[in-house]
Amino acid sequence: MAVDNMIQKVFGSKSHVKVLMFLYKLSKVRSETTMKELERRTGISRVTLVKVVSDLIKTKIVAIRGATKGQVIRIVDTPQKKVVWGFIKDFERSFYMRR
């Protein structure tokens, strides 16, 4: 999808973009997921996901709850998340408006 490519230019790593896009779409339905679901839905290896989720924790977009085995990743309602979600929404809107 072209929106992913535009966002990738801004955010960098393709893995980060895949996770951000998944979390963005998920946030419309619910605010929690697991590492296992992230791994299955994004197709990213667990090792890479740990690094990506760690970066998202540092930027306060997600928080982790639970033990190592049963970790629940919760999308945090912070100003940082609102900026990123707004950015993604604007990219989607501008992309589809040009078509």
CB neighbour burial string for 3-31, b if at least 16 within 10 angstroms, e if fewer: bbebbbeebeeebbbbbbbbbbebeeeee
Instruction: State the pLDDT at residue 10.
Output: 67
Cβ(39)–Cβ(49) below 8 Å: yes
Domain at 17-93, CATH class: mainly alpha
Quote helix, strand, coil % in the chain, to nearest 5: 65, 10, 25
User: Is the confidence at residue 5, as pLDDT, over 80?
Assistant: no
User: Is the confidence at residue 56, as pLDDT, over 80?
Assistant: yes
User: Is the confidence at residue 22, as pLDDT, over 70?
Assistant: yes
